[in-house]
Amino acid sequence: MPKRFLIAANWKMNPPPGGFDAPDSPYKSTATVEVVAFPTFLHIRDCVDAGLITGGQCGHPEKSGARTGDISMNMLQTAGCEYVLCGHSERRQSHGVTDEDVAAQVQAALAAKLIPILCVGESKREQEAGRGTDTVQRQLQAFQAGCVVAYEPVWAIGNEAADPKYAQEVHSFIRLQLPSALREKTNILYGGSVNPANAANFLSQPHVDGLLIGGASLKPGDFGKIVQVAEGLGAAGK
């Protein structure tokens, strides 16, 4: 069966965009494109009730306990989430999340029957030093069967998108790092300043199976256009 494109809306610390719960919401999945919304914890229930496929922006690996401010993977699943982001660069940078933490999150997410989206990506300094793929390879050690991978070069987030050909090369590198039985099955998303004008260039790269979108996902019109681009292109994994 051909893979469906996966288009993820990471709303970060913002309220859900207007019309997210409307009958014609652009955040709803279509026959050919799986769309997932990542709201704040406070808005998970609203998204689930609106019929959106919903994910948590992060989750703690422990089931419960003295973890002020945290939410566990099990709690996300009970609230109706189907996905969870693990290791987004903003969590790695500003919350001290380590590779070991991310590996524990991935494991706990799978145990809680959530699909982890393992986020990997190098900094500008690492890229300039020619160590970009070393970082990606190291971060991929948290990969397990059942994960989606999102390649998000840190320098491209909220800034200037990577060259789609560069993304394609790194995606191909990532695929080769995966266990051979999972290589073709695994969705590898690109993230970093995707917009309606560049979405087709990314999605038409052979190893790009979807997109993780921040800024443009807060504009329903732009996000809807990106979903339409994915629909127009048909199946992922061309």
- Which residue lies nearer to ligand PGA by CB, 158 or 206? 158
Least spacing, CB of residue 179 vs ligand PGA, in Å: 26
Residue with structure tokens 């127009």? 232
53 - beta bridge partners?
36
Q: Does 10 bind ligand PGA (CB under 6 A)?
A: yes
Q: How many angstroms separate the CA atoms of 221 and 218, rounded?
A: 9
Question: How distant is the alpha carbon of residue 75 from its chain centre?
Answer: 20
Catalytic residue chosen out of the listed positions 34, 122, 126, 152:
152
Least spacing, CB of residue 159 vs ligand PGA, in Å: 7
Q: How many angstroms separate the CA atoms of 138 and 37, rounded?
A: 28
Q: Does 157 bind ligand PGA (CB under 6 A)?
A: yes
Residue 152 is among the residues annotated as catalytic for this protein? yes
- Which residue lies nearer to ligand PGA by CB, 18 or 158? 158
Q: Does 6 bind ligand PGA (CB under 6 A)?
A: no
Least spacing, CB of residue 62 vs ligand PGA, in Å: 25
If we measure between CA atoms, which residue out of 199, 100, 87 comes closest to residue 154? 87
- Residue type (1 letter), 21: D
Q: How many angstroms separate the CA atoms of 59 and 105, rounded?
A: 7
Question: What DSSP string describes 191-206?
Answer: ESS--TTTHHHHHTST
| H or E element in which residue 54 lies | strand 53-56
Catalytic residue chosen out of the listed positions 88, 90, 126, 207:
88
Q: Does 152 bind ligand PGA (CB under 6 A)?
A: yes
Which of the residues 179 through 218 are near ligand PGA (CB under 6 A)? 191-194, 212-216
Q: Which residue's CB atom is positioned nearest to ligand PGA?
A: 214
∠ CA(95), CA(116), CA(62), 5° rounding?
Answer: 60
- Which residue lies nearer to ligand PGA by CB, 74 or 89? 89
Both tokens of 90, joined, read 């903003």
Residue 122 is among the residues annotated as catalytic for this protein? no
Q: Does 158 bind ligand PGA (CB under 6 A)?
A: yes
Binding site for ligand PGA (CB under 6 A): 10, 152, 157-158, 191-194, 212-216
Residues annotated as catalytic (active site), given as ranges: 88, 152
